[in-house]
Structure 1
Amino acid sequence: MPNLDDAAASEFRPGNVYLNTAAVGLLPARASRAVRSALEDAATGRPADVFGPVEEARASYARIMGVSPGRVAVGTSVASYCGLVAASLPAGAEVLTAEGDFSSLVNPFHVRGDLKVRSVPLERIPEAVGPGTAMVAVSAVQSADGRLVDLPALRAAGAAHGARICLDVSQAAGWLPLDAGEYDFTVTVTHKWLCSLFGLAFLTVPEDFGGLLPLSAGWVAGEDPWASCYGPIGELARSARRFDEPQSMACVAAPRSLALFEELGVEAVHRHDLALADRFREGLARLGHEPLPSPGSPIVSVPGLGGRQPELSAAGIELSDRAGSLRAAFHLHNTPADVDRLLDVLAG
């Protein structure tokens, strides 16, 4: 397994101190080369491989998430896939969500109009699951502040009450070791911690598809896509590919980015990211600042400092202002020097 620091140095060359992966991840050099080559092919009329990169990405993501490729669908957004999950529920079903969770996850359940959507504080999610709960839809890691849901407690509560779980791993996949097979559905985008491009999403489903209907199925969802171009699809794919959506240039980058995480190992990325986040938390304490509690997360949000984001950007440090909190996200391209630079600027 390659050394993480050496691999990161060869793949990433940010032009600043980039601490904004929770918004958009940096593209590795190998993925950038693949996209440039595909663009040149498109500009010169060379035939494009329609399915190869998608299948590579599906297989790689399946290995990272511990499931078979047949349980992985490749689409375009978390919102569209959560719409499929929401559509599978009967009228009147109770859906439990966390207060302030990301809109792309929770809104598809709200717009149904005939579901009982109940929101509680993140810390209370496991205890709030009851015999009347049909589904829990929650992010593994909160976008705003990096807090983690108690995953073991959530799984136990779901099993005890027969509630299905739809877990958004957009802020987790790539740094948090996960087994998608432990949940009914997982969804993620690839442009954050998986360091790919906008416009690509993954959905993992049970072996029996969990009652989902392929409501957006087009020709790529056919068992034989090239025989499914005209008229009703004669036979849908026998795997989760029946939930696939036509892809953009993002599918060219994804296999290269995902391969990097397979080479390094998510566990190694996990250790690296958390060490940097803890270094930042320790430095904040010395400066008299207290971040929002998010133990075990590489996302650190500091209340009251969000207004300093423009100043930090001018100093060559990119991060986010979220609801008045300064949100820093530490990933595999970051180094201790990045942490110390941020602390020095905050110290004035």
Structure 2
Amino acid sequence: METFESLVRTEFAPKNTFLNTASSGLLPARTVAALQEAAALRADGSPLDSLFADVEAARASFARLAGVPVGRVAAGSSVSAYTGLVAASLPAGAEVLTAEDDFASVVNPFHVRTDLKVRAVPLERIAESVRPGTALVAVSAAQSADGRIADLAALREAAREHGARTYVDFSQAAGWLPMEAGADDYTSSVCYKWLLGPHGAGFLVVPEDFGGLTPILAGWVAGEHPWDSCYGPVAELAHSARRFDLPPALFSYAGLRRSLELIEELGVDAVHAHDLALADRFRAGLTGLGHEALPAPGSAIVSVPGLGHLQPELGKAGIQVSNRAGNLRASFHLYNTPADVDRLLDVLSA
């Protein structure tokens, strides 16, 4: 039986010290092979039925990771599209509560609708800031800039107390942070970060009754019988969340299916423990160097104020990190090791 470490070693062989999953995760070897096979189908004129089957397999895998029935999961490509769908469902004058400086894809579609009241508060105060008249709370489960984790349990309780819905983006959390998507009204996630998939795939989770959403983006793939829905208005929308599907990037889903299989094989709990151990090792090492990371307890993302300017220098040394708002952002995932952490600390200490 393969161990966590041996399974990871068979899938990844980075040529540098890659600590930038919060920007884009590495592709497993099985995913690369699946992408090559998908491209070969297009090249030799073979039927593409297997690629559509990959979409459904990936949807089912994500549903298991999210802890919801597969009928609640819509397949698409971007968080911003699904945020826009949620924004379009709100009546004029509705109040949307967001976290200050959250990722644009989570908040901008609400601002584009100039007839909504969008209110931003510090992440730590978002639960206590839900009030009578708040229609929706939209927030990232983990903040892109600094890794802070939202207190989703408190937020859900406050939303229920005031009759508000919740919309949570798991793009910086799905794959390393256990999900309870069924506890929220709507959740979304792209899959090219911690879920290790190619760009161009994402999911939306909706309530069983669709939560008041109108499938304004629906095309033929949103039909109950897609191949009978190619021409004219769609006669019968899918009875499941598939009515919110967007035309799938077939190659992306062919690869994503294999990436999600790997996450399931390893187990999110094991990935979570592995990632946090590395992040905590880095935080402790920073303290020894006289630096303090921004507070983000329990996060696999670590941001260090004032060191963002070192990103180009670190890149030349073969260490991939990000510069976010002047902060050095390192993100630790399943393919990273203690040696990766120590190498970054060594370069920072020079």
Q: Same fold (TM over 0.5)?
A: yes
Question: How far 1:132 moved relative to its partner?
Answer: 1.1
CA distance, structure 2, for counterparts of residue 297 and residue 305 of structure 1: 19
**Residue 43 of structure 1 corresponds to which residue in structure 2?**
43
Give the TM-score normalised by structure 2: 0.98
Question: How far 1:297 moved relative to its partner?
Answer: 0.1
Number of aligned residue pairs: give it: 348
Q: How well do the aligned residues superpose, as a CA RMSD in angstroms?
A: 0.8
**Residue 238 of structure 1 corresponds to which residue in structure 2?**
239
The share of aligned pairs that are identical, in percent, is 66
CA distance, structure 2, for counterparts of residue 181 and residue 203 of structure 1: 11
**Residue 160 of structure 1 corresponds to which residue in structure 2?**
161
Deviates more, 1:107-116 or 1:3-12: 3-12
CA distance, structure 1, for counterparts of residue 148 and residue 29 of structure 2: 30
Aligned residues of 1:2 and 1:264 also touching (Cα < 8 A): no
Within-5 A mapping of 1:173-192: 173-192=174-193
SS of 1:158's equivalent? Answer: helix
**Residue 254 of structure 2 corresponds to which residue in structure 1?**
252
- The amino acid that maps onto 1:299 is I
2:301 paired with 1:299: yes
**Residue 13 of structure 2 corresponds to which residue in structure 1?**
13
**Residue 58 of structure 1 corresponds to which residue in structure 2?**
59
CA distance, structure 1, for counterparts of residue 238 and residue 2 of structure 2: 37
SS of 1:126's equivalent? Answer: coil
Cα 1:47/1:309, change in 2 over 3 Å: same
- Alignment counterpart, residue 338 of structure 2, candidates 327, 336, 339: 336
SS of 1:38's equivalent? Answer: helix
- Alignment counterpart, residue 274 of structure 2, candidates 272, 294, 300: 272
CA distance, structure 1, for counterparts of residue 199 and residue 246 of structure 2: 14
Runs of 4 or more consecutive aligned structure 1 residues displaced over 4 Å after TM superposition: none
CA distance, structure 2, for counterparts of residue 11 and residue 161 of structure 1: 47
CA distance, structure 2, for counterparts of residue 2 and residue 131 of structure 1: 53
CA distance, structure 2, for counterparts of residue 150 and residue 66 of structure 1: 18
Question: How far 1:130 moved relative to its partner?
Answer: 0.6
Aligned residues of 1:173 and 1:194 also touching (Cα < 8 A): yes
Give the TM-score normalised by structure 1: 0.99
**Residue 28 of structure 1 corresponds to which residue in structure 2?**
28
Question: How far 1:51 moved relative to its partner?
Answer: 1.9
Question: How far 1:48 moved relative to its partner?
Answer: 1.1
Which runs of 5 or more residues in structure 2 are unaligned? none
**Residue 308 of structure 1 corresponds to which residue in structure 2?**
310
**Residue 78 of structure 1 corresponds to which residue in structure 2?**
79
Which runs of 5 or more residues in structure 1 are unaligned? none
**Residue 193 of structure 1 corresponds to which residue in structure 2?**
194
CA distance, structure 2, for counterparts of residue 4 and residue 174 of structure 1: 15
CA distance, structure 2, for counterparts of residue 304 and residue 4 of structure 1: 35
SS of 1:83's equivalent? Answer: helix
CA distance, structure 2, for counterparts of residue 109 and residue 6 of structure 1: 45
CA distance, structure 2, for counterparts of residue 3 and residue 96 of structure 1: 43
Question: How far 1:3 moved relative to its partner?
Answer: 2.1
Question: How far 1:100 moved relative to its partner?
Answer: 0.2
SS of 1:188's equivalent? Answer: strand
Question: How far 1:6 moved relative to its partner?
Answer: 1.3
Question: How far 1:102 moved relative to its partner?
Answer: 0.3
SS of 1:290's equivalent? Answer: coil
- The amino acid that maps onto 2:274 is H
- The amino acid that maps onto 1:44 is D
**Residue 91 of structure 2 corresponds to which residue in structure 1?**
90
Question: How far 1:2 moved relative to its partner?
Answer: 4.5
